Amino acid sequence: MTNSIREIPLSESFLIIGSNTTENHPVIGSMIKNEVINKGKKLVVVDPRKIELARYADIFLQIKAGTNIAILNGFAHVLIKEDLYDKEFVQNRCEGFEEMAKALEKYTPEFVANICGIDDPFKIVEAARLFAASKPMALYYCMGITQFKSGTNGVKSCANLQMLLGNIGILGGGVNPLRGQNNVQGACDMGALPNVYTGYQSVSIDDNREKFIKMWGSEFELSKNPGLTVVESLNGVLTGDVKAIYIMGENPVISDPDQSHVIEALKQLDFLVVQDIVMTETAALADVVLPACAFLEKEGTVTNTERRVQLMKKIVTPPGEVKEDWRIIMEIANIMGANWDYKSAEDIFEEIRQLTPSYGGITYKRLEKELIQWPCPRENHPGTQILHKDRFSRGLGLFSVVEFTPPAEDIDPQYPMVLTTGRILQHFHTGTMTRNSKILDEICHEAFIEIHPNDASNYNISNGEEISISTRRGSVRVKAKITDRVKPGIIFMPFHFAEAAANKLTHDAMDPYCSIPELKICACKIEKVNAIGGLSE
């Protein structure tokens, strides 16, 4: 997030796009509800589903899945056409306005409404006017923006809109991605990415490599070629290029797109090591399984969605012979000839600080009593609540020309419905933790799909009936929940349930810039189970 959670009370309006906030980031969802319902702040919600926040919205735009960019461009078009944008900000802080304005010309409300499947184009105009009249507006987005082939562009159009409105670098504004897992932010910051070291320092820049070689005392040159992403590496297994995978705390069999492809790849490996807390669907395929500490059994830091670094404490003793993940990695490294001697997580953090300018001023001692958000370069630096305050990292903010492109897989007569996936309130990711927690499992015990009443009656499906849902990649059986939260023609399915894994159905078309698979959308068909000879007679 460019801004901070504690600024929510300072926003005059909110744009929530591609984020089912009250289920996926419930505490932030409640804070926003408090502002809107109890304090009369304005709210615009853009989502293919009638999510809870849509009920309280001043304007709700129920768009076709995969058309975020069109609608964001539509808002920007209106702001420019009606002269409602922040000219001072655009003039002093940004560049590329002319080119973008030109590209936006065709995104008239009518054009956009047509792409997005919105009945009343004037709602787009009203929303744009609302943003201009109720500043600062805070924009929040989540996987509903990024999990598309066009994900990177979706993020750019969010930035375009907020720069046009001058909502960057000020209290209560910002472009605020909500991170899905407790330490996604930290894992990225730490360089668990194929192209960068910690703090996003590129592996292809000689100076960076020099610095890390020196600090690490590495015997050999560090590689300057960017590595593989998760999805690329699985493809690499099938072509024979990748022979061994070491997985720490992930369950790609359930979480990654196109399940049968993932299983095929993992089975073909010469050697698979999985380090986890329980026997997962992925660990079952491993050659060696290493038992690791759960979060309450170890110390360390995590970085939340607002870049705030926080300390985790050891609360309980681990069972059996379980070890901390860092200790296991260190022991393997040392057998292979390294000479690491970390006594605690704090020792490792001290090394991170020295190599990572944005974490340079953060210490365990400070974290005990201070709220610190990176960048925090020095020990006497308070950390950074708002990014891009006086200047952007590159100097001027760059407006990007972003065109709407349709999703990779379109519907056709054979697969006439759209499938979109996501999370629900009570469960998390692949269910490894929540489905092993008694009360959460009791509240929501089984998989389901959401289907609109019209579609249900077309297919003669009743509420709670088990149906079959298939895509070009696979099919699963699951209970139907009839609700007008989804639009006609769309089916929503949570991905937490191994026995009806949504990712048997999804595909791995990727964003060309950052390889995010297009989990949010693909074509599918539904059938009554007895019609395909499943349960009848």
Strand partners, 276: 291
Q: Which stretch binds other proteins (CB under 8 A): 65-73, 225-233, 410-418, 450-458?
A: 225-233
Select the binding partner of residue 468 from ligand SF4, other proteins, none (C-beta < 5 to 8 A, by kind). Answer: none
Is the Cβ of residue 94 or residue 277 nearer to ligand SF4 in the bound state? 277
In angstroms, give the least distance from the CB of 25 to ligand SF4.
Answer: 6
Select the binding partner of residue 319 from other proteins, ligand SF4, none (C-beta < 5 to 8 A, by kind). Answer: other proteins
Sign of the CA dihedral with 59 first, then 63, 66, and 68 last: negative
Is 101 within 8 Å of 400 (Cβ atoms)? Answer: no
Q: How far apart are CA 439 and CA 262, in angstroms?
A: 31
Task: Give the SS3 label for residue 309.
Answer: strand
Based on the shown chain and the rule CB under 8 A, indicate whether residue 33 belongs to the binding site for other proteins: yes
| Residues 423-452 as x/- pattern, contact with other proteins by CB under 8 A | --xxxxx--xxx-xxxxx-xx---------
In angstroms, give the least distance from the CB of 123 to ligand SF4.
Answer: 30
Query: CB within 8 A of 241, min separation 6: which ones?
Result: none
Using CB under 6 A, which residues numbered 27 to 46 contact ligand SF4? 27
Based on the shown chain and the rule CB under 6 A, indicate whether residue 316 belongs to the binding site for ligand SF4: no
In angstroms, give the least distance from the CB of 429 to other proteins.
Answer: 8
Q: Which stretch binds other proteins (CB under 8 A): 276-284, 385-393, 455-463, 468-476?
A: 276-284
Is 418 within 8 Å of 521 (Cβ atoms)? Answer: yes
Based on the shown chain and the rule CB under 8 A, indicate whether residue 245 belongs to the binding site for other proteins: yes
Is 273 within 8 Å of 247 (Cβ atoms)? Answer: yes
Q: How far apart are CA 476 and CA 130, in angstroms?
A: 43
Is 4 within 8 Å of 373 (Cβ atoms)? Answer: yes
Q: Which stretch binds ligand SF4 (CB under 6 A): 20-28, 111-119, 460-468, 514-522?
A: 20-28
Using CB under 6 A, which residues numbered 434 to 473 contact ligand SF4? none
Based on the shown chain and the rule CB under 6 A, indicate whether residue 291 belongs to the binding site for ligand SF4: no
Instruction: Name which position in 10, 26, 322, 440 contacts ligand SF4 (CB under 6 A).
Output: 26
Query: CB within 8 A of 2, min separation 6: which ones?
Result: 168, 169, 173, 174, 175, 176, 386, 387, 388
Bridging pattern class, strands 397-398 and 417-422? unpaired
Based on the shown chain and the rule CB under 8 A, indicate whether residue 256 belongs to the binding site for other proteins: yes
Instruction: Name which position in 329, 480, 482, 493 contacts other proteins (CB under 8 A).
Output: 329
Q: How far apart are CA 445 and CA 456, in angstroms?
A: 23
Is the Cβ of residue 108 or residue 195 nearer to other proteins in the bound state? 195
Is the Cβ of residue 1 or residue 449 nearer to other proteins in the bound state? 1
State phi, psi for 493 to the nearest 5 degrees: -140, 125
Select the binding partner of residue 331 from other proteins, ligand SF4, none (C-beta < 5 to 8 A, by kind). Answer: other proteins
Is the Cβ of residue 225 or residue 414 nearer to other proteins in the bound state? 225
Based on the shown chain and the rule CB under 8 A, indicate whether residue 202 belongs to the binding site for other proteins: no
Q: Please name which of 472, 451, 465 lies closest in space to residue 531, comparing C-alpha atoms.
A: 465
Start-to-end CA distance of the chain, whole Å, equals 56
Based on the shown chain and the rule CB under 8 A, indicate whether residue 105 belongs to the binding site for other proteins: no
Closest residue to ligand SF4, based on beta-carbon distance: 27
Q: Please name which of 378, 373, 348, 349 lies closest in space to residue 361, comparing C-alpha atoms.
A: 378
Total of residues contacting ligand SF4 (CB under 6 A): 3
In this structure, the dihedral spanned by the alpha carbons of residues 251, 257, 263 and 266, taken in order and rounded to 10 degrees, is: -70
Positions touching ligand SF4 (CB under 6 A) are 25-27
